[in-house]
Structure 1
Amino acid sequence: MRVSTNMIYDRGVGSIQQQWKSILHTQQQVASGRRVLTPADDPIAAARALEIGQSKAVNSQFSVNTGYADDALKLLDSRLGSAGDVLHYVRERAVQAGNGALAAEDLRYMATDMKAQFDAMLALANSQDGVGEYIFGGYRSQQQPYSGGLAGVEYKGDQGERTIQVSASRYMPISLPGSGVFDKTLVLGMESVNMFGALSNKGEMNPGPSKPFAVSAVDAQSVRQATRYQIEYKQRDPANLSVADPASPRKEYVVQRLGVDGKAVPWTNDDLIALGWSNGATPPGLALPTGYSLSTDRTTITLNLDPTLHIPGTPPTTLNIDGLTIDIPDDPVPNPVDAPQGARLTKDEMVDGDRFEIFVPSTNLLNNMAMFASALEKPGVSGMTGAVAFALETFDAGQENLLKVRAQIGSQLTETEALTSLGGDLDLQYAATLSGLQDVDYADAISRLTQQQTYLQAAQQSFMRVSGLSLFNYLS
């Protein structure tokens, strides 16, 4: 084969450039610490490294999300802890209110304190996080969840729980709807609606379960929450009844209801229609059942037990008001009976002027706090007996609900801790795998670099020798 001078130069330069290319590649590996600089270096390792790198990036984002979730849960736990402290304090005050030695002025001072604690609890229920979102508003995080005050509080949020993804299959709630924290603290029913008698009552009838005078049924759907009912029994002495007016009332129950703030709440047409007091006309008109009457200002309902309207000796008589079914004694043998005025022949179950009080709690803890504050400021007919019992029952239910919610938050905090640890382990595992796929072996790379430098020098020297061969060197 004929070898031209151009071929010698081209081949020599090509060899030198190839050696330079090898040296440059190895030098880049040493400088970057990466064995695979391009997918062409190791297609399988490059593809695997890309997959693991993506998984590592996702895991890093999950770790960041877990940190956000942990911070949000700790804020929730802090607010719930503060709410528990407030509730513990007001419960202690409720126990103190049961001290019969306290004067009315002392109770008013306690009412002022209770109102301040109500404001503190309302502020906690409307807590915001660092970016101004309400943590107890559900999905409506931009809207204040609780509005109102001592006259009644209303929840404006929804039932949603905002979540954040902390793993491939786990979406962790980082907020709670207020309805699950401050509402739904108890179930309205026979156990939570109680009746109490006044200490000044002279009759022998004490209200209570399995007695003729008791709340025998509660319709949770139609019952009016956070309401006190004041019931007074009126019984005229038969000896004083006018002969000219034999149909005048002999016995009757007068019922008044008080709202959250302790003020009388009139019965509206809608309230009375809900009781079935409608004549079916359009617009509906009132048709009071036999024996019932309504005061002019609509603040009291009276059940007349006149013998002409009711069969004596068939206790209990049923009083249906606002979703409550109340069994009331008829007391068929009033005292005195055909006896000289002032004589006492028997002990009456009910005596003229006996008064009773029913406490219907709210499922909302805030309303129950407001209701107790009003009971301290304006005690009902049962005095502090009913108010304290009501407060202890509702506050204990609220405390139990808070503890249940805090237990859930504590469980989630434990989970975030475990996820943080697992994320760190995964990150180390991904890093180790990527290192095995991508990182250069410096001993091998430096050895190759030295070897390639030797090859380059040999190529350069040989090129110099070959390019120096010429017949002109032999001419003289």
Structure 2
Amino acid sequence: MRISSNMIYQKGVGSMQQQWSDILRTQQQLSSGKRVLTPADDPIAAARALEIGQSKGVNAQFMVNAGYAEDRMGLLESKLTGVTDILQYVRTKTVEAGNGVYDETDLSYVATDLRAQFEALLALANSKDGMGDYLFSGYKANEQPFTGNLAGVSYNGDQGTQTIQVSASRYMPVSLPGSDVFGSTRAFGDELISTPAGLANQGDGALGATLTDPADVSLLGRRYEVTYHDDGVNPPTWDIYEYRPDVADRIPVATGVTALDDPAVTAALGFELNLASGTPEDGDAFEVFASSPNVFDNLGMLIDALERPGPSGMAGGAVAVGLQNIDAALENVLKTRARIGSQLVEAQSIQTLGDDLNLQYSESISDLVDVDFVEALSRLAQQQTYLQAAQQSFLKVSGLSLFNYL
């Protein structure tokens, strides 16, 4: 094989350029701290690092979501704490109202105080978050959930629960439908209806009540007065009047009826009344409290009873019923707070787990693409030696030209 001088130069230059290229690549690895500068350097490691990097990004987003969920549930917990405080205060005032030494003036003062608590409770039920979304409207975050007054409060939201994804398989609730918190404080049943006898009754009659099936919720949360009439000549009759917080005078529901369980009366009340036992005397009166699952309706009924006491008085009627309703509302709110508390713990655990997983992902990527500085520095020194040897050998070989002997 014949070797020309041109070939010697080409091979020598090519060899030194390759050595320079190797040195430059090693220097770039050292300056960047990365072993894999391009996918071509290690296709398998580059692909695996990209896959892990994507998983790390998803995990980071889940951590952000978990932080948002924790903030939102912390806000819910704060609002429900306020609800608990108000209900406990209302309970205390209701117990005070049962004090026999309180006259109508004292009771009116208590009622005035409870009116303010009613408005505060309604404001909490209509709370918003930092974005202006209502917390207790379900999916209808832009619609005010509760509207109304002492005469009745209606729920305008839906039953939906907003969620946010905090892991690959976990969607955490970050809102509550107001109907669950404020509108489901008591279960439907005949125990919603209380029929205490008047304090001035002469007979031993007692009323009973049975809810219609299905019950009409709109007819609950109301208070009635039932009076028995018997002149000894005509058949006995009953008069039924309703107390409404927004109406000064009692509203007649049915007068002069001979049977409390008359279908027309039952349809008007939403439940069936009957004389459960005993025999009433002429003029005997009974008070009927038709409690509601809605805490606002029950509170409005209590406040109206404080302002206009019925025949059963405070201790035996309004206070007893009021305490039952308030205790049920408190229990429902505390159960809700317990559920939110467990979700807060879960959100914090998810973030802690996410931090650990993020560290693991970072270490895995580092193992795949980061440079080993000791090995790279040793390789750089070796490559420099190779380059120097190539340069020296090129000088020697290039000096063997025949022209040197002419």
Deviations along 1:172-196, one digit per CA (max 9) or x if unpaired, are: 0000010110111112321121101
Q: Say which of 262, 265, 273 aligns to 1:326.
A: 273
Equivalent residue, structure 2, for 1:244: none
How far apart are the structure 1 equivalents of 2:210 and 2:69?
A: 47
Q: Is the 8 A contact 1:229 1:258 kept in 2?
A: yes
Deviations along 1:447-470, one digit per CA (max 9) or x if unpaired, are: 001111111122222223333444
Residue type of the alignment partner of 1:229: Y
Alignment of 1:107-122 (within 5 A): 107-122=107-122
Equivalent residue, structure 1, for 2:65: 65
State whether structure 2 residue 47 is matched by structure 1 residue 47. Answer: yes
Residue type of the alignment partner of 1:371: M
Q: Which 10-residue stretch deviates more, 217-226 or 185-194?
A: 217-226
Structure 2 spans left out of the alignment, 5+ residues: none
Equivalent residue, structure 1, for 2:129: 129
How far apart are the structure 2 equivalents of 1:178 and 1:137?
A: 6
Q: Is the 8 A contact 2:195 2:288 kept in 1?
A: yes
Residue type of the alignment partner of 1:231: V
Q: Is the 8 A contact 2:244 2:304 kept in 1?
A: no
Structure 1 spans left out of the alignment, 5+ residues: 208-212, 239-248, 267-298, 311-316, 332-348
Q: 1:38 to 1:131 in 2, by over 3 A?
A: same
Equivalent residue, structure 2, for 1:222: 216
Matched residue SS, 1:138: coil
Q: 1:26 to 1:194 in 2, by over 3 A?
A: same
Deviations along 1:70-94, one digit per CA (max 9) or x if unpaired, are: 1111111111111011101101111
- Per-residue deviation, 1:22: 0.5
Matched residue SS, 2:39: coil
Q: Is the 8 A contact 2:241 2:254 kept in 1?
A: yes
Equivalent residue, structure 2, for 1:363: 293
Higher helix share: 2
Equivalent residue, structure 2, for 1:159: 159
Residue type of the alignment partner of 2:272: T
Q: Is the 8 A contact 1:226 1:260 kept in 2?
A: no
Alignment of 1:172-251 (within 5 A): 172-205=172-205, 207=206, 213-222=207-216, 224-238=219-233, 249-251=234-236
Residue type of the alignment partner of 2:308: K
Q: Is the 8 A contact 1:26 1:449 kept in 2?
A: yes
How far apart are the structure 2 equivalents of 1:373 and 1:113?
A: 9
State whether structure 2 residue 394 is matched by structure 1 residue 463. Answer: yes
Equivalent residue, structure 1, for 2:310: 380
Equivalent residue, structure 2, for 1:351: 281
How far apart are the structure 2 equivalents of 1:92 and 1:114?
A: 11
Alignment of 1:264-303 (within 5 A): 299-303=252-256
Alignment of 1:397-436 (within 5 A): 397-436=328-367
- Per-residue deviation, 1:204: 2.3
Deviations along 1:119-163, one digit per CA (max 9) or x if unpaired, are: 111111011111111111111111111111222111111111111
- Per-residue deviation, 1:262: 6.0
Deviations along 1:86-126, one digit per CA (max 9) or x if unpaired, are: 10110111111101110111111111110100111111101
Equivalent residue, structure 2, for 1:254: 239
Look at both structures and tell me which one has the larger radius of gyration over its CA atoms. Answer: 1
How far apart are the structure 2 equivalents of 1:217 and 1:157?
A: 26
Q: Is the 8 A contact 1:229 1:358 kept in 2?
A: yes
* TM-score after normalising by structure 1: 0.80
- Per-residue deviation, 1:304: 4.0
Residue type of the alignment partner of 1:215: A
Q: What percent of counterpart residues are identical? A: 53
Residue type of the alignment partner of 1:256: Y
State whether structure 2 residue 156 is matched by structure 1 residue 139. Answer: no
Q: Is the 8 A contact 2:208 2:276 kept in 1?
A: no
Q: Is the 8 A contact 1:34 1:438 kept in 2?
A: yes
Q: 1:261 to 1:372 in 2, by over 3 A?
A: farther
* TM-score after normalising by structure 2: 0.94
How far apart are the structure 1 equivalents of 2:394 and 2:10?
A: 10
Equivalent residue, structure 2, for 1:22: 22
